[in-house]
Amino acid sequence: MTNHYLPVLIVGAGPTGLMMACELERHNIPFRIIDKKSSPTQGSNATWIQTRTLEILDLIGIADRFLKIGHRCGAINLYENSKHLVSIPFDSIDSDYPFILMLPQSETERLLQARLAESHIRIERSVELIDIKQTNNTVISIVRLANGDTENITSHWVIACDGANSTIREKCQIPFPGEDIQEQFMVADATMRSFLPTNEIHVFFEKGTIFSEKGTLFSAFPWNTKDYRLSANLYSSHPRQFFTEQEVKELVAERTYGNYIVEKVSWISPFWIHSKIVNQMREQSIFLVGDAAHTHSPVGGQGMNSGLQDAFNLAWKLALIIQNKAKPALLDSFPLERHSIVSHVVKETEYLTKMMLFDKSFFTKLRKFCKNAAKPKIAHSLSMELAQLNIQYNESPIIDYHEKPPTGAPKQGERALDVKISNTARLFHYFQNTKHQILLFTGIHCTEKNLKKLEQLQQWLDENYADEINTYLITTEEASQANNIISDKNNIIHTRYHLKTSAIYIIRPDNYIAYFSKKPNEDTLKAFLNEYLIYHG
């Protein structure tokens, strides 16, 4: 039995654990990542990559790798029997990625692992956590190695990414309240010929028959022009574990009214929906993220994406603490911010799933929903929610909400907005680092006196917070002598942010807005930054 110390131990090498590892590596934080499985995920599993996740991958610098092999879906179509009810398009999404990217989980994991391999980071497989203990400010994780030996790993922090059946959650005796929805589903991967658009998602609902009051649900999610993930409820009187290829072919033909013809089925599995969330995502030095903290209906493809965002939210905060650049209270914001978001997802997906499966008035509600969803404003709102671009941290202890931005401008707690500055440059390109970004807008018409004041503020910030912050002067003028200038001579950025006069935005490393003010003042900025950053000036 050996004993090693390190800052962070990540338990679980699924998408959430891999994202956590990629982010800690990007922040130069030493860690180990273990997984009890001997090999990566081989199946398709989680297949949706939402727009918000693509923006995260863009900030990391690897979005292009996913776009190269993923399949872009531009809309979701809903049907009642064979009648098309509505198409919810994604082309109005306020992002450089106005689509859902369909990609098997095995490929998502492969790309994240490849990113780690570039930094010579090894995933320790066939290493199973069997017990965990917290003493003072350290955690002792007892693991069993592939050869049967045990090892004690002493770390300051442990990140539980070990899934819905989390050993860490069990050992810490953290309750996982919720319920198991009784209806059984079948999922399958199939090659099919399609008579419907292959760059869109198609979901079929059918009323119950005289033999069953329950309606049926069938979904087809394309990975390319011929390969699909299929999902269907069974309304079976007893649980089933095995299905034949012929049964899948018949089910597809029946529920899609001949719109798909199955050529080959490569994988079939039973599936049950669990709707659960922990009451606490932190237990002293242990954090629960992804499926270890919440699991829910796959409606809308939110699950894996929520876990990836958990990791992205936590990593930068933990890195600042380990590097002694922030106060310990910063970590309190992780459960406060993320629990409310995932709790909403769990509740909404559970409600929708139960309504689809068990509500006798569902089809009346479906028609009403589709009628409203055909309206552009509502369709835009729906697509923004599905893409996870409407996530907002409304009550975070590390966000200043005091001053209201102009009407139409992005608000504190919302994600920052990207701007296409030219054919080759975007505002988000300046955010591809691990620091906070402070944007000093000069205003469309800036006097020499105000410009000088902003330049002095930028110099003060650079002198006192350079390790944690990048400060950019966004100016319509060419004469400024500031170090980091983002030229906005055509007012594109100012217009996008609805600003005519000078203003300050602070963007966190996870791309959410932490602060806004129209008053460039050193004392006010220092007071906010020192709420959680350690001032070294």
| Statement: residue 36 has pLDDT above 70 | yes
Nearest partner of 203 among 369, 408, 398, judged by Cα: 369
| Statement: residue 211 has pLDDT above 60 | no
Cα first-last separation, the chain: 45
Given strand 83-89, what is the order of strands in its sheet?
83-89, 75-80, 201-206, 216-222, 227-233, 178-194, 260-277, 294-295
Average pLDDT over residues 214-226: 88
CA distance 47 to 55: 17
pTM of the predicted protein model: 0.94
| Statement: residue 213 has pLDDT above 60 | no
Mean pLDDT (the chain) is: 92
Least confident of 6-10, 43-47, 408-412, 435-439: 43-47
Query: How high is the pLDDT of residue 1?
Result: 45
Query: How high is the pLDDT of residue 182?
Result: 81
Query: How high is the pLDDT of residue 429?
Result: 94
Query: How high is the pLDDT of residue 361?
Result: 86
Average pLDDT over residues 288-311: 92
**Amino acid identity, position 207:** K
The half-sphere exposure of 462 on its side-chain side, counting CA atoms within 13 A, is 14
CA distance 203 to 76: 8
CB atoms within 10 A of CB 54: 22
Query: How high is the pLDDT of residue 42?
Result: 82
Least confident of 30-34, 309-313, 349-353, 499-503: 349-353
| Statement: residue 239 has pLDDT above 80 | no
Average pLDDT over residues 243-266: 93
pLDDT tens by residue, 397-424: 999 999 999 999 999 999 999 999 988 8
* Percent of the residues in the chain that have a pLDDT greater than 70, as a whole number: 96
| Statement: residue 306 has pLDDT above 90 | yes
Residue with tokens 């950019």: 472
DSSP β-ladder status, 83-89 and 100-102: unpaired
Q: Which are the contacts of 450, defined by CB distance < 8 A and separation ≥ 6? A: 442, 443, 502
CA distance 11 to 31: 11
Classified as helix, coil or strand, 214 is coil
Query: How high is the pLDDT of residue 243?
Result: 87
pLDDT tens by residue, 159-192: 999 999 999 999 999 999 998 888 888 899 999 9
Nearest partner of 392 among 413, 411, 408, 412, judged by Cα: 413
